[in-house]
Amino acid sequence: MAIIVNLDVMMARRKISLSELSEKVGLTLANLSVLKTGKAKAIRFSTLDAICRALECQPGDLLEFTNDPMEEDE
């Protein structure tokens, strides 16, 4: 079981770069990169709110739950 972060998918759909999102959200490129690669262990609601506002999406567009054990290795 795992939570999959689809930040890269939403960024591609909105045609926004990591640096542009970083500026809009007020997070460092390093912190956004950790989220984008799925290596983050937690996310603050305020950060999730800022990303959703910048990308005009819902939290469920960014986060996905899976029961597939193969997904955890990615």
30 vs 73, residue with greater confidence: 30
Does 72 have pLDDT greater than 70?
A: no
Neighbours of 3 (CB within 10 A): 14
Q: Is residue 74, in this structure, part of any structural domain at all?
A: no
pLDDT tens per residue across span 47-66 = 999 999 999 999 999 999 99
Q: Is residue 8, in this structure, part of any structural domain at all?
A: yes
| Residue 61 confidence (pLDDT) | 97
Question: pTM value?
Answer: 0.86
**CATH code, domain with 10:** 1.10.260.40
- As a whole number of angstroms, the distance between CA 51 and CA 35 comes to 11
Helix (H, G, I), strand (E, B) or coil at 63: strand
Could you tell me if 10 and 62 are in contact, meaning their C-beta atoms sit under 8 angstroms apart?
Answer: yes
Domain that holds residue 13: 2-69
